[in-house]
Chains A and B, each alone.
Chain A
Amino acid sequence: MSNTTEIEIKMPKVDLNYSSFKKPVQVSADPAAKPNPKVTIDGKVYDFAPGDTIMQVAERYKIHEEIPRYCYHPGMPIAGSCRMCTVEVEKAPKLMTSCSTPAADGMVVHTRSEKVVKSRTGVMEFLLTNHPLDCPVCDKAGECELQDYNFEYGPMTSNFKEEKRVYEDSTTKKLSDKVTLNMNRCVHCERCVRFTDDVTKTSDLVMLNRGYKKELAAADEERGLFNDYQGCLTDFCPVGALTYNDFRFEKRVWFLEKKASICDRCSKGCNIEVHSEKDVVYRYMPIFNEQVNQHWMCDEGRSSYQSLSNPLRIISPLMKYQDALHSTSIETLLGSISKELQSASSVELVVGTDATCEEAAYLKEKMPEVIKNIRLSYYNGTNNVTTSKDDQKLDNLLRMKDKTANTKGVEETGLTALKNGEVSSEIAILFRSGRAGIPKMKADQKLILWGVWTQEEIKALPSKNILGVIAGLSTIEKIGSFKNTDGILQKFAPAIVHRGNGLSVKSVVSAWKSLK
């Protein structure tokens, strides 16, 4: 592909609410060109593009983390209502909100003057008056913007002597199966409402009532939240008002180790941060990538981490012995199946399109050396997708029809699609990473399974004639690269260590070779 862009997933200082696609303004080399407008922020002069707000200028030069915010999010329209991002602009009578005030040539901005800090302390004091301060039982604690900014600006004590506002029956209101709302913690930044209005365009969240009674609710109470990106609400909710049910009460966030990887749940290849402790994954969170997934990821991808820690996943080589599969060593298994393979009239290897580019290329190169006359092909098998041409968008945001991550990449190794989606050789080796579909087969088809499989999947196979299972690594456990639906090649490194006896493709093939 000529338009291929290659991206290495960088281990970021990931912060969904700060990452922005704004880049520094190019200064023209031509001295005759009209100079860019300039703004002074905290004593330094910056060029900016006309139309930028003060916050956006700061984003261009990566100094925006100096400016606290609740309602502002670079991926959403500007609201200007939390009043936390106020800055002092010289010659302006009042403090200005940096998120909404357009920068002007010659403007002098102070982001931390005494007046500004006093105002922010004021906002913090107001927000905390009715906040329950239940951090010890709040899942957001540790990554909560209310905590962070209070540490920075907040008053250490409060003079609020009144009874705190309590929303009835709403400490644990289920907005859907995925998201729980605790309205008492809400700071009314309305990021969530704007997200459903302008990003997913589903408008399934609304604010009811007004003033201090203002309350977040699902637009349709019976239907609840129905957009496919509900997890994002919980990512950018600055407090613990919206929490993701899968993660609720599972882990304190400061124990989590964070590593970058790629979501393999569809052909979009959203950049994710894998949050794990002791190699047990607790959640995925999106990483900002302007070209791929911006700030978001879908719920299907987000909950796909569960399949890794599925207790029924096969994490050790299995060999058929007396009509049942038994755990064994890789050498024993390979030795046993090699005999079968040598005597077979025809053998084929079907590479799932969830394999990495490197795996597909390696299998294509090395497998004919291991097994003579082996036929190779690839198979997708999700949502009736055969080749990357069948792929299409499922909505206006990220979700794709192709539920495997690397159809484009596997195709480019030169493999051809499995004919009719059906295996026909005497022995078929099915290689997949847990996402690709299962090809059609005869009821007595001899099978060798390779890669990521679970007991349910094996039970559901049309054929019970399984010679062995070679346990492999799943996406976040291995190194490699995926080419996504837009032709962007993304490299990734292991985010966690595999917890069983699964082996990488290279190790298996070299073990196989050394057998001879």
Chain B
Amino acid sequence: MSDLVITKHVNEKNCETIDFYIQKDHGYEALKKALTMTPAAVVDEVKKSNLRGRGGAGFPTGMKWSFMPPNPVDAKGNPKPKYLVCNADEGEPGTFKDRLIMTKTPHKMIEGMIIAGHAIGSNKGFIYIRGEFYQETRIVQKAIDEAYKKGFLGKNILGSNFTFDLVVYKGAGAYICGEETALLNSLEGKRGEPRLKPPFPAQVGAYGMPSCVNNVETFAAVPYIIHEGAEKFAKMGTERSGGTRLFCVSGHVNKPGVYELPMLLSMRELIEVAGGMKNGKKLKAVIPGGASAPMLTAEEIDVKMDFDSLAKAGTMAGSGGVIVMDESVCIVEAASVLLKFYEHESCGQCSQCREGSHWLARMFHRIENGKGVQSDLDYIAKICGNMAGQTICAFADAVTGPALSSVKKFRKEFEDHITQGCCPHKGPGHRHAHDHKESAHV
């Protein structure tokens, strides 16, 4: 098995402290090395490593860094600051990898951010942590304080002329603030609503300045790339995507948790690694990359877990949140729960998303309780077709993921709900627990 990039020491005691990180994990050695390199060389190294963004979209990180303007100036010709933003607003249902990094090895992320700051020429970084991560915020803040004390943050880091400051910002707990431009709005104190693109954050980002937004896991992989070399990192992955990935396995498996694994294993192997199906039950469906990723059926799980293979299979690698569902699960209920989440979390800016997510959630809820009609199933595809790809951000596409895939792959189950007038798993008279408020009053 290949080397572990991030989770090598996460099960050891005091692994979140700076002393442990320095003594056992080559802590801040990559930073020392990076500061002797030119920023362009660091960006090149990251490009060579084939590191792709771990937040969900899988955009090549080195490329993103190279989009940052080298010497931005404002209208009067004064130099503009550049900002580095860490997206720690981990809210995708089924995803809990950033949380592990922040609690167990926050210094990896911090070191990665300082290196990234050096690479893109930024002197200020923000870590945007979702509001519910209270404990994580404290741990990260403590780690930042430790790094300041040791001279890894602040003015003239390690004797170089590079200055870098880190600020922790707590969000208010909105899923949409994980979208980078909504995050930037929220960071500025505005409503967390995605911005129109262009301009992209590399031109107009936080506070109107060029900004670079990356995921926690992306930053945490950077020290390894610099320390061990880009080739070694690239070799661990596929041709177009380097390194390992953190998979968050949850649901009906024996050992749910975060697993750092090479991307070339299949879903079937991943479920085996996670201890196999719980109680020996049969697998029914699996969501491979967080709630927004379309579901896979039990027949489709031989797909490899890298970005490209999953995309070819009609789903996505997303944030690495693998939700395993066994035969006892009512897919209609599962989809309905997910859609209720999306209905609640849509920012409400675009017409299609605001009204569509609401409509779908209510429709699924109705079908789940046996009040659906046959024509609903065809209409779901029409609604989704009117939503996907038509809005400012990708949220509407995310809504259609579970909605379309569940109807397409488990149509029989939906039809059973409609023809039997109740949930076939639970029998007549049963109403699912996570009930909508009965009236549509807001």
Interface residues of A (CB under 8 A from B): 70, 78-84, 86, 94-95, 100, 102, 118-119, 122-123, 125-127, 129-130, 159-168, 187-188, 207, 209-215
Contacts and interface: CB of A to CB of B under 8 A. Distances in A.
B413 interface: no
A37 to B, nearest CB: 17
Contacts of B375: 159
Given A94-B390, A161-B366, A126 B191 contact: no
A167 B441 CA distance: 6
A126 B387 CA distance: 9
B351 interface: yes
B352 to A, nearest CB: 5
Given A127-B351, A167-B442, A211-B346, 13 more contacts: A81-B349, A118-B386, A126-B386, A159-B379, A163-B362, A163-B440, A166-B441, A188-B354, A211-B345, A211-B357, A212-B346, A212-B348, A213-B348
A130 B358 CA distance: 10
Interface string B362-378: 11001000000101100
A164 B349 CA distance: 19
B346 A123 contact: no
Contacts of B376: 161
Contacts of B344: 211
A80 B196 contact: yes
Contact of B351 (A83, A168, A209): A83
Given A82-B350, A164-B440, A125 B390 contact: no
- Which of A82, A100, A123, A215 has most B Cβ within 10 Å? A123
A159 B344 CA distance: 22
Contacts of B348: 188, 207, 209-214
Contacts of A164: 440
A72 to B, nearest CB: 12
Nearest to A212: B358
Contacts of A130: 355, 358
A100 B199 CA distance: 11
A86 B439 CA distance: 34
A164 B355 CA distance: 11
B351 A207 contact: no
B355 A119 contact: no
Interface of B: 174, 176, 191-192, 196, 198, 343-352, 354-359, 362-363, 366, 373, 375-376, 379, 385-387, 389-392, 439-442
B351 A162 contact: no
14 contacts: A80-B196, A122-B385, A123-B351, A129-B355, A130-B358, A162-B440, A166-B441, A167-B442, A168-B442, A209-B348, A210-B348, A211-B344, A211-B346, A212-B348
Contact of A188 (B176, B351, B379, B392): B351
A119 B390 contact: yes
5 smallest beta-carbon distances between A and B, as pairs: A122-B386, A214-B348, A126-B355, A212-B358, A211-B346
Contacts of B386: 118-119, 122-123, 125-126
Contacts of B198: 102
Given A83-B351, A207-B191, A210-B348, A126 B391 contact: no
B390 A83 contact: yes
B442 A166 contact: yes
Contacts of A118: 386
Nearest to A169: B441
A44 B391 CA distance: 28
A273 B327 CA distance: 68
B351 A126 contact: yes
A163 B359 CA distance: 10
Given A83-B391, A100-B196, A162 B352 contact: no
Contacts of B357: 211-212
A207 B355 CA distance: 16
B124 to A, nearest CB: 27
A270 B403 CA distance: 52
A126 B359 contact: yes
B198 to A, nearest CB: 8
Contacts of B347: 210-211
Given A159-B379, A165-B440, A188-B348, A214 B354 contact: yes
A280 B191 CA distance: 45
A162 B383 CA distance: 14
Contacts of A162: 359, 362-363, 366, 440
A209 B358 CA distance: 14
Contacts of B439: 163, 166
Nearest to B353: A211
Contact of B442 (A82, A160, A161, A165): A165
A168 B357 CA distance: 21
Contacts of A159: 375, 379
Nearest to A119: B390
Contacts of B362: 162-163
Contact of B441 (A82, A122, A129, A168): A168
B19 to A, nearest CB: 43
A97 to B, nearest CB: 8
B389 A211 contact: no
A80 B351 CA distance: 10
A376 to B, nearest CB: 54
B110 to A, nearest CB: 32
Nearest to A214: B348
A123 B352 contact: yes
Nearest to A124: B351
Given A126-B359, A162-B363, A188-B348, A212 B390 contact: no
Nearest to A121: B386
Given A162-B440, A215-B442, A83 B352 contact: yes
A187 B343 CA distance: 17
B5 to A, nearest CB: 34
Contact of A83 (B192, B350, B441): B350
Nearest to A206: B191
A129 B389 contact: no
A81 B442 contact: no
B350 A81 contact: yes
Contact of B343 (A95, A168, A212, A214): A212
Contacts of A122: 352, 385-387, 390
A55 to B, nearest CB: 13
Contacts of A84: 351
Given A80-B196, A127-B355, A159-B379, A166 B440 contact: yes
A127 B192 CA distance: 22
A461 B348 CA distance: 57
B338 to A, nearest CB: 15
A122 B391 CA distance: 12
A82 B389 contact: no
Contacts of B366: 161-162
Most buried by A among B343, B359, B375: B359
A119 B366 CA distance: 26
Nearest to B176: A210
Contact of B390 (A95, A161, A210, A213): A95
B359 A129 contact: yes
Given A162-B359, A162-B366, A211-B358, A126 B352 contact: yes
A214 B176 CA distance: 14
B350 A210 contact: no
A160 B352 contact: no
A212 B354 contact: yes
A212 B355 contact: yes
Nearest to B345: A211
A82 B351 contact: yes
Kindly name the residue among B345, B355, B440 whose own CB sees the greatest number of chain A CB atoms within 10 A: B355
A79 B348 CA distance: 13
Contacts of A123: 351-352, 386, 390
Given A211-B345, A214-B348, A80 B191 contact: no
Contacts of B441: 166-168
Contacts of B192: 210
A196 to B, nearest CB: 14
A214 to B, nearest CB: 4
